[in-house]
Each structure stands twice: as C-alpha cells, then as structure tokens.
C-alpha cells in the first residue's frame, strides 16, 4: 500500500488524473489525501469532487478556504452575484446535495500517526501543538457537520480576531480556527494572522513572517503538510512541506508519498487556465 498527499486541485480534474497515472495509483490498495480546495476556479470542479468522493475509503480531503466558500454559497446564495459557470454546474448536478454534504463533512485536519504526518489546508498556527490543533479542528467540524450550519457559514467570514486566545468563544473562536487552518500565510512577531499579502515570501513586507518560520510547538519528527500558498510553491524544510505548486496557474500538481522513508515527491506540469484571472 502507498499513501500520498496531493496539493490543491481547484477543479483541475484532468491534471489530477494525469498525476494519479504518474504515481500508478491503485484505489484497491493505495490511499490519497487532498490538502484542501478540491473545487473552485478550475474548469471541472464537479468532476473532481465526484471522483474523490467516489473513491470512498481510498481518499479523503481536508477543507480548504475555496471549499468552504462554495459550501457557504450553496446554502446562502447571493442573487446579485451568481456563481461562475463551473460552480453552477456543480449546484445543478443531480447528486449536488450528496456531493456538497460529503465535502462539508470533511475534516480541517488529518493526522497519520503511523507515518508521523499531519495535513491541513494552510498549516498549523505555531502557538498550537498537534494535539491542540486536532482538538480545535474538531470543535469547528462538529458545527459544520450538523444539518443546521447555515447561520454559522454566514458568520465565518472576516479577519478578526487575528490573534489566538484560549478564552475566545462562539463565532470569534470558530472564525479564528477556520482562518488559521484555511487562510493563514503570514503573521507578525506577536503571532497575529495577516491576510493582505499573497505573493512569494521574498517579496513580503519586512515586518511579516511566514507562519512556519516562527517558533512553534510541533513535534519535530512530525511532517506538517499544507497547500493554499501557490506563490510559495513546493518546499520541504524542517519537516514543513508545502504542496500547492500552482496547477491552476500553469504550474504543477504535486504529491508526496508519506509512507516511504524518503518521502518522494511526484509532480506533473499543468496547462494554465488562462481564462481565469488570479
């Protein structure tokens, strides 16, 4: 059995199939985890989501910010801003409710203890250790996985609070947790989440720090794998592994095999979706 984590797909279904061919994926024996953002922006969100869901026990995914946005849009549509064509196809599909329910009930964090690997979409807030991160992820998952999460999905948007405090409660607490797991890139020296900059770290403001460069409480033997930051690209330094290599923007789609002692990387080049503006 081989076990892989794959970076952001974002509706790039054809590229996903090419990557699975590249790694000789066998759904009867192998497992894939997705680092979030299965859907949105790309051309085949419906096909990508349906494919991953239908793999059942051979695949899982953490929630990404784009996944959450489409889930929120599905339960709280905005008549003045209709979804783009690809997402409308997803909403109109006969199995749309089943697909979106499956997506909504995905975790924010997956932990493979045997292979000492954790995956989330954007990373792990450096003030948290792995056990705390798992506990906080489960708090939000319990809300999202109920049948009555519409109000919460409306209130999850926003950049505040931007610094963690265990005394946070209610939607402020849940919003921070979601932002840390699905939107985080940079922090300041006080560990405040900063959301304006999305480029490469070489171009960031001097007073902003990539979350993975701050002192943290992670087990140094555990690999923390994330996606989300396409401008960052692939990196594997001190067991912090970034897998979003910008398939949507003409980069690559990348996987890491986590059950192998050398953690090999596999990547295929992707066709740019030129009609999409970043």
Tens-digit pLDDT profile for residues 19-33:
999 999 999 999 999
Q: Domain for residue 141, yes or no?
A: yes
At residue 277, the pLDDT reads 38
Q: Domain for residue 276, yes or no?
A: no
Q: Domain for residue 28, yes or no?
A: yes
**Beta bridge partners of residue 224, listed in sequence order:** 118, 240
Of the pLDDT bands very low, low, confident and very high (cuts 50, 70, 90), residue 272 is low
Q: Domain for residue 177, yes or no?
A: yes
Q: Domain for residue 275, yes or no?
A: no
| Overall domain count for the chain | 1
pLDDT per position as a tens digit, 40-66:
989 999 999 999 999 999 999 999 999
Q: Domain for residue 256, yes or no?
A: yes
Whole-Å CA distances, 78 to 70, 72, 75, 155, 205: 12, 10, 10, 15, 35
* CATH number of the domain bearing residue 206: 3.60.21.10
pLDDT per position as a tens digit, 60-89:
999 999 999 999 999 888 888 889 999 999
| Residue 213 structural domain | 3-269
Quick one: residue 183, left, alpha or beta (phi over 0 = left, psi -120 to 50 = alpha)? alpha
Per-position DSSP letters for 211-234, written without gaps between them = GGGS---S-TTSEEEE---TTT--
Average pLDDT over residues 268-275: 72
Q: Domain for residue 42, yes or no?
A: yes
pLDDT per position as a tens digit, 189-233:
999 999 999 999 999 999 999 999 999 999 999 999 999 999 999
Q: Domain for residue 149, yes or no?
A: yes
Q: What is the pTM of this model?
A: 0.95
């Amino acid at each position: 059995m081989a076990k892989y984590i794959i970076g952001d797909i974002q509706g790039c279904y054809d590229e996903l199939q090419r990557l699975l061919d590249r790694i000789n994926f066998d759904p009867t024996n192998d497992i894939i985890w997705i680092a979030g953002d299965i859907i949105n922006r790309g051309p085949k969100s419906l096909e990508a989501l349906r494919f991953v869901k239908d793999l059942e026990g051979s695949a899982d995914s953490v929630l990404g910010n784009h996944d959450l946005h489409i889930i929120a849009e599905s339960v709280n549509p905005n008549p003045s801003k209709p979804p783009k064509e690809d997402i409308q196809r997803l909403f109109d599909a006969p199995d749309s409710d089943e697909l979106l329910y499956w997506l909504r009930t995905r975790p924010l964090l997956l932990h493979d203890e045997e292979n000492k690997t954790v995956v989330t979409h954007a990373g792990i807030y450096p003030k948290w250790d792995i056990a705390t991160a798992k506990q906080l992820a489960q708090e939000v998952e319990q809300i999202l996985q109920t049948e009555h999460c519409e109000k919460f999905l409306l209130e999850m948007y926003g950049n505040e609070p931007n610094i963690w405090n265990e005394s946070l409660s209610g939607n402020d607490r849940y919003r921070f947790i979601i932002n840390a797991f699905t939107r985080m890139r940079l922090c300041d020296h006080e560990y405040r989440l900063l959301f304006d900059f999305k480029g490469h770290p070489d171009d960031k403001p001097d007073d902003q720090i990539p979350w993975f460069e701050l002192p943290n409480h992670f087990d140094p033997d555990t690999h923390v794998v994330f996606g989300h930051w396409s401008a960052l690209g692939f990196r594997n330094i001190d067991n912090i592994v970034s897998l979003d290599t910008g398939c949507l923007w003409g980069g690559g789609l990348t996987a890491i095999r986590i059950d192998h002692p050398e953690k090999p990387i596999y990547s295929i080049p992707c066709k740019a979706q030129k009609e999409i503006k970043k």
